[in-house]
Each structure stands twice: as C-alpha cells, then as structure tokens.
Structure 1
Amino acid sequence: MFKNTKIIGALSIALALSPIGNLAYADATPLIGALSQNEEGVPSLAPLIEKAVPAVVNISVNGKKSLNQNALDIPDEFKFFFPEIQKERKFSALGSGVIINAEKGLVITNYHVVDGADDIKVTLHDGRVLKASVKGQDEQTDFALLELESPKNLTELKFADSDNLKVGDFAIAIGNPFGLGQTVTSGIISALGRSGLNIENYENFIQTDAAINSGNSGGALINLKGELIGINTAILGRSGGNIGIGFAIPSNMAHSIVDQLIANGKVSRGLLGITGTEVNEDLAKNFDYHSVNGAFVNEVLKDSAADKAGIKSGDILTSINGVKISNFGQLRAKIATLGAGAKVKIGIFRDGKEKEVEVTLDGDKGHTVASNSSNPLFEGATLSDNDGKGVLVSDVKDNSRAARYGLAKGDIITEANREKVNSMDDLNKILSKKNKFLALKINRKGMTVYLTSNY
C-alpha cells in the first residue's frame, strides 16, 4: 500500500498472512472537562482523558480476503493451467473503535478495519474482551457500525457538532497505534473540508496534527469537552508513520451514516443533480466572486432536486444549512451522507448577490452523475443506471475529459477493471479503490469496445 515518498493510507494494521496454501441513542453521561489541574495544581488533560478513554476500544479481526489474480498478469485463457493458485488468503488485523451507545453496545469504526472479517473481538479499556458483529457498513465512506454481544457497564462518547469546528481548535486522538494499546496524543485542527485525496469515494476530512499512526483507524478524535468530533481514518506520510498530517471523518458525517444504518441497514445517498467544479481565482474573477471557496455549477440536470429548487448553471454554491463549504468535493460528500429525502438549505452566489434555497435531495435510484467523482476520466459525462444491465452514458460534453477518454453518448459500461458492472453502485465501488488505471468494457451499439487510461 505504501510506495514512493508520499503516502496516503488507511490506518489498520495487518498482523499476519497465512501461506498461500491455507485458506437514536441512549442518554449518555456527559463527558465534561477542559484543561484542568492535577493533584499538584499543574494544568493537565488527565481528568478529561480518564472519562473519555473507556469509550475507545481496540478491535482485532480474523478473516479471509480474495487475492487479486489480475495482479498476477495471467490471461484468463491460461488460468486453467494454474489451479494451485489460491483465491483467498487468511489475514489478521488490528484497529480501533468508539462506543457511541453503551446500552445497545454500538461501536463505530472504519470499514477497512473489519472488511472481510469472520471473527471480530473488541477489547475494552478494563481488559474485557467481547465478540462483535457488523450491524451495518458503507464502503464508500469507509465506515462500519458494530454491535457488541452482552454489553454491560460501558462508557459512550457523545457526538459533537463538527460544523462548529474551527482551524486552530484543540484536538485529542485516542486509539491503538501499532497494536500497542490505547494511546493518547494531542494537537489542533489543521484544516477542514479536505477532499481529493482518493482515500474514499466521499471525502470531507478533518485534518489534524495530533499524532496518528497505523492502528488508529476507527479511533476517536475528541474536543476539550470530551465529545467526539471525528473518526481517525488515514495519514499522509513517507513510510506509513506520523508526520503530523492525519485525517478524520467528521462527527456529523458519521452521525448521519449511523442514523441511516440503524434505520434502514444501508446508506441511501442524497443527490443534488448537478455537475460542477472547483472555484479557482480566474473563475472567481470572471463571475465577480470575491473568494475561491465554494462549488461552481456547470450543469443542472433536468427534473433533479437542484432543478426543482431553482439552482442554475453558473451559480456558485457557498453553504449547506448555513455552514460554508470549501470545495466541490466537500459539497458532494455532505450531500451524499445527508441522505435521500433530506431537506437542506443551499447558499447561492448569483449575479453578484447571495440567496438561499431549500432543496429536497433525490435518492440514488435515478440519475447519478460521475462528474467530479473520484475518477477524473468521467468529468463531463452524465451516467445513470440501466435497469441492472450496466451503466448508461446518457451524455458527454464536447472536448471534456470524458470525451477525450473516448466515452460517447449511448455507451453502456458493463465492466470496469475486469469487474462486472450492473449499476452505478458497482461502478462507484470500483472507482473508490486506490487504482490509477481504469479499463472499461463498453457495449457501443452492439459492439464491444475497451477504453483504457492512466489518470
């Protein structure tokens, strides 16, 4: 996973690989605190940490994962001659988690911590070890909800409102780095709304300089009130170690996903129905907009949520529910995780004036736009589900990145990187993987066409 000198990676620790031959929350006791004094009268975070740490758990998993046989560079017609190559490999891994409902034993963590796990054990701060099962998960936001067996005498963390965070706020990270056991580090919020890192499909990260390392995945990022402000997820570093740049899923995003997983067992993406791009200095100057924050609207899809709310191409979207947005990626992640049917207020800059409109978000059964998605090759293309028979390219803008890639209106995408594509969900899952090469198999007017490109 780590290569060259610039690393962006998930934080769970793989401990062992076998040889190839083997195959609505309960009321919480508030965790209050700030910078207190210890018994000697010296300023200390210890009183706060003592209350928060019991809610953060260590997670150990065992399971099997499929081997990517395509990586072996063996053509399909020759794989018959290599039956000894196993399709699965056993693995063990460690990560972290946060108890968010003590009564029901609900724990949140990262999807990649428990992905493929057959056996999940959670070690509490007091040494107890409880079995856990996956209650719900969402690969595209790297999020999982676990349920503990026979939960008793647990401590939970309360969600903070991450929309209230400011750069410079103090932050404390708690987790299980390198399998050492619970470790506490501190720092500040370094940046908000980070996206475009290709870690997840929907990105709206909190960046912090609190030391985060491998094994911190799923652990807590808290404020000085002992409230959960984020779920530690990834790091940027030269060798997989901390260099002061860590990323966490905001608590509001986590809270919304948890609510949907509990209510429906899945996440129903919210859709606005636009294609767009980032606001740069030249664009802002051309539209008399005095900022580079926000999301520029290139196109509004007919009969979409945005269309019904009166959003127009050429608008600059500036806020969601009164909270400023930094970029298109942040807008996309927030809209998606608010969920289908959610009513949101969108701030708009148009013709030198600011206004606000209310939008009822669409669900993901209709058109789904890949423009500005995790794969830039789709910029300028409009995609939609094709009744379970692939993904339809319903439009491609002239001279767009998608047109230069070779996509054409009417194409039906049936495979991506040699994986079957039946729907937009399938395509998005493939695109969310850390891969800088894309090969599409396309049905074009009854003919099979392959498009390949690095990006």
Structure 2
Amino acid sequence: MRKPLSLLSVLALSVGIAMSAAPAQAALPSLMGNQDIPSLAPVLEQVTPAVVNISVSGKKVTRQRLPEQFRFFFGPNMPDEQVSEQPFQALGSGVIIDAKKGYVITNAHVIHEADEIKVSLKDGREFTAKKIGEDKQSDIALLQIKADDLTAIKMADSDELRVGDYALAIGNPFGLGQTVTSGIVSALGRSGLNIENFENFIQTDAAINSGNSGGALLNLRGELIGINTAILGPNGGNIGIGFAIPSNMVRDLSEQIIKFGEVRRGQLGITGAELTSDLAKTFGSTKQNGAFVNQVMPGSSADKAGIKAGDIISSIDGKAIRSFGELRAKIATMGAGKQVTLGIVRDGKEESVKVTLKQADDSEVRASALHPALEGAKLSTTTDPVAGVAVSEIDPRSPAAATGLQKGDVIIGVNRLRVNALADLTKALKNKPDVLALNIQRGDSSLYLVIR
C-alpha cells in the first residue's frame, strides 16, 4: 500500500541539487596534514552562496456562504457570505540561476498567495523579491532580486543522469539554517505520484525534510540537477525517499517565464498509455520502456508528423523515455513552437519523425485560481460564438454566481482589455485588481459586470 506523499512544507527550508555524478576524483580533496583527505568542501564553498532562504507572508482569504435554511433567522440584511482573512508566514528555499539578472528558481507552492517575498543570502543580505511568473502544474516559480555580487549555479543536463550517481542536497530543514546532505540518484522518471500535473521526478535518498521546498539537488561538480519538491514519509519526516524536478524541465520552464511571463505549454496531440510487456509483444517491439499511442487527434502536431495509433514512442531527441508520464511531462514543458525528434516503433521497425509542437489549448480551469471573486466558476477558451473565455460551469451558491456570471457567458474583456483566451484573462488578473469590469457576451447581448 502506497504511503502518503507529503509536499515539502513551506514552513521549513530545503534545497537540493542533483545531476549525473562525475567519477569519485571529481570531489576535490582538501589537504590535511600530509594526506589528501577526500572532501566535498571545495565544491560546496563554490555553490552554497547560490542557495537562498525564502520567507513569505500574506493573507489567506476564506469565504463561508450562509446556508439558505439560516437566512430566515438573520434577516434580509445578512450578507450572502462571510469573508475572513487569516495572516500567514512561511519559509522555503530557492536557487540563483542568473547572477547578473538576479533570477531565483523555487517551487510555486512556496510563494503561493504571498503578498511579500523576502530572499536571504548566505552572506546575510536580504532582498524583497519580485515574482516574474509561475507554473502551478509543474510547481515551478521564478523570482527576481536586485543585488550585486551574486553567485549562480550552472544547470546540468538531467537527461544524462544515471541511477547510482551521487547527489547533494542543500537547504534549510526545519529552519535550522543552511544544511548539506548527500546520497545517490535512486530512480529516474518517477510519475503517477499525484503531486503535480506533470511529473518526471528524480528520486534521491539524500536526506530531505520539511522546509526543503525549492532547494537544490546537485552533482559532485556542483551543477544543478533538480529542484527538491516532495518527500514520501510519515509526518513530513525523512525516510530516504525524496523527489526533485529535473533541471532540464526547470530550464525549459524558466526560459518561457522569462520570455513570456508565463509558460506556453507544448502539445503533441495524442492520448496514450504506459507500455506493458504484453503491448510491446503485440505490436512487435523489443523495447520494454516507452509510451503507447492510443489515439492521434486530427490536425494535431502528431497527426501532421505522421504518428499513428498503435505507435510506440521510445525517445525524444535521441534520449530514451521510460513511460507515457515522462513523455507527457517533457513535451508539456518544452514550449510551443519547439521542434523535436521522436523515435517510434511501428510494426516492429524503428523510425524517427520530426514534430513541431503546437501550443496547448488552454484547458478548463477553476476561476478561483485567477481571482477569489470568480470562485465557483469553470472557465475555458472558446471561439464560439465569439473569441473569449467561456463560463462552462458555475456553482449557483458561489461568489462567481453572486457577481451575476451565468453558465454560457463569454468573457471578452477585463478593465477595457480585450480577452481572446484564458492566457489573456490570466495576464489581466495577475495583479489582482481591486475592481473588475468584466465585458460579457451573453447570447446576442453585450454587458458589463462590475466586481468590487
């Protein structure tokens, strides 16, 4: 029976960096007396200044709707819902990836709902950070600080990692202060853990505890191989099973956030399943790892590239994939417009095809993720009857319904800004404006809903 997975608590700090380990001699020895004593100290002295502590504060807003059966007792002037704010403070970790521009990578859940983000360096300096962007589905966020004399960590190619490579984790477990632990890469391509939407984790036994979220996992050369994100263990304690987001995913996501302010997710346009030995045998493949293609969507990137149902996708850009979950995570984080080469097995023969990834259709989302006043609605991009964001579902007892939104409404503008898709709406609501003037297309009519 699978033990419960615990997200690394933002109440304690932690950093971990992992990557393909170099030979043992890569751990530079330090001279002690007349003997060379193997030590990781020279490597750590170079990289620990790039691992930062993150402290956040904010207010969590909760809404409690008054049940209909109690309204009689409180009278008609009783508000439909009670709104309360609860202040909170939390801690996490981060990794400086660009010293000149002050970019810091961390987990999205570390800075979630934070009104103020502080970054503390190893040398004692503290700075207020600006959130550049985040991707909740992969749990990555990018911050920026304005500071001189920063140290950045170089990213490794996480696709070169092997099980058994040495890994070092740096962080601030339980708020104790910067702490270094060591271990190995225990497994690669872990998915199906239901921690994130897109999972392709590095598993390590380097000791990671609550508070390590956003920390670094590195190899013996001091290169970043992953961002620590979750642990498997009772009560958030370490039992030697930790998970990190691979550095290649971190690189792809951070580059998109820097360029666009958001992640523009790539899409292949298939549905599939994990490759089993029976499926491999049935479809003439000698490979036991890969992704089985159940269906190819008409007009998709996969369709245009000639991929067919029944194909087995075995590699991306020459790098073998282990599962459909790994394929899904890698494609989703590569970015729209990127061209990749997929290795496939069809009728027992190996082929390769070039695919240019389309931008993923904005999937249906809960509006509460965009603005509290929209809680209770589900939104999706539409072009029918007009380009905008459709209200596909709405809870009649929700704050969104109280604003006047109805199922079938199409949001075509916010505060005089045109909205053609969910990405436009997300951008318009990014700074949580105090007043929302939603331009709504309802049937043949156009109207404004003003939300304060």
Fold match (TM-score > 0.5)? yes
TM-score, normalisation: structure 1: 0.75
Residue 147 (structure 1) aligns with: 144
Q: Secondary structure at the match of 1:58?
A: strand
Q: Deviations over 1:29-84 (max 9, x none)?
A: xxxx92222232211111111111010001111011233748xxx74775886889
Instruction: For 1:171 and 1:328, locate their aligned partners in 2 and report how far apart those are by CA, in whole Å.
Output: 26
**How far did residue 384 of structure 1 move?**
7.9
Instruction: For 2:216 and 2:324, locate their aligned partners in 1 and report how far apart those are by CA, in whole Å.
Output: 26
1:281 aligns with 2:273: no
Change (3 A) 1:323 1:69: farther
Instruction: For 1:205 and 1:76, locate their aligned partners in 2 and report how far apart those are by CA, in whole Å.
Output: 46
Change (3 A) 1:229 1:425: farther
Residue 63 (structure 1) aligns with: 58
Instruction: For 1:216 and 1:334, locate their aligned partners in 2 and report how far apart those are by CA, in whole Å.
Output: 24
CA contact (8 A) 2:380 2:389 kept: no
Residue 291 (structure 1) aligns with: 287
Report the residue type matching 1:54 in the other structure.
P
Instruction: For 2:288 and 2:397, locate their aligned partners in 1 and report how far apart those are by CA, in whole Å.
Output: 35
Residue 113 (structure 2) aligns with: 116
Change (3 A) 1:291 1:262: same
Residue 49 (structure 1) aligns with: 44
CA contact (8 A) 1:7 1:239 kept: no
Instruction: For 2:259 and 2:68, locate their aligned partners in 1 and report how far apart those are by CA, in whole Å.
Output: 43
Q: Secondary structure at the match of 2:262?
A: coil
**How far did residue 8 of structure 1 move?**
1.3
Structure 1 runs not aligned, ≥5 long: 16-32, 371-382, 392-411, 430-455
**How far did residue 136 of structure 1 move?**
1.2
Report the residue type matching 1:135 in the other structure.
I
CA contact (8 A) 1:5 1:237 kept: no
Equivalent residue in structure 2 for 1:180, among 176, 181, 184: 176
1:244 aligns with 2:240: yes
Instruction: For 1:331 and 1:321, locate their aligned partners in 2 and report how far apart those are by CA, in whole Å.
Output: 12
**How far did residue 85 of structure 1 move?**
4.7
TM-score, normalisation: structure 2: 0.76
Instruction: For 2:301 and 2:2, locate their aligned partners in 1 and report how far apart those are by CA, in whole Å.
Output: 43
Instruction: For 1:369 and 1:288, locate their aligned partners in 2 and report how far apart those are by CA, in whole Å.
Output: 37
Residues 4-153 of structure 1 correspond to what in structure 2 (within 5 A)?
6-14=3-11, 34-40=26-32, 41-67=36-62, 69=64, 75=67, 85-149=82-146, 151-153=147-149
**How far did residue 226 of structure 1 move?**
0.6
Equivalent residue in structure 2 for 1:268, among 264, 270, 278: 264
Report the residue type matching 1:226 in the other structure.
G
CA RMSD of aligned residues (A): 3.0
Residue 396 (structure 1) aligns with: none
**How far did residue 205 of structure 1 move?**
0.7
CA contact (8 A) 2:94 2:106 kept: yes
Instruction: For 1:90 and 1:362, locate their aligned partners in 2 and report how far apart those are by CA, in whole Å.
Output: 41
Instruction: For 2:306 and 2:145, locate their aligned partners in 1 and report how far apart those are by CA, in whole Å.
Output: 46
Q: Which has the higher contact order (CA 8 A, sep 6+)?
A: 2
CA contact (8 A) 1:172 1:187 kept: yes
Q: Secondary structure at the match of 1:108?
A: strand
Larger radius of gyration: 2
Change (3 A) 1:309 1:234: same
CA contact (8 A) 1:270 1:335 kept: yes
Instruction: For 1:162 and 1:78, locate their aligned partners in 2 and report how far apart those are by CA, in whole Å.
Output: 57
Change (3 A) 1:142 1:297: same
Instruction: For 1:59 and 1:249, locate their aligned partners in 2 and report how far apart those are by CA, in whole Å.
Output: 18
Residue 16 (structure 2) aligns with: none
Equivalent residue in structure 2 for 1:233, among 224, 229, 233: 229
Structure 2 runs not aligned, ≥5 long: 13-24, 366-378, 401-406, 412-420, 427-452
How many pairs does the alignment contain?
Answer: 371
**How far did residue 417 of structure 1 move?**
12
Residue 450 (structure 1) aligns with: none
Residue 198 (structure 2) aligns with: 202
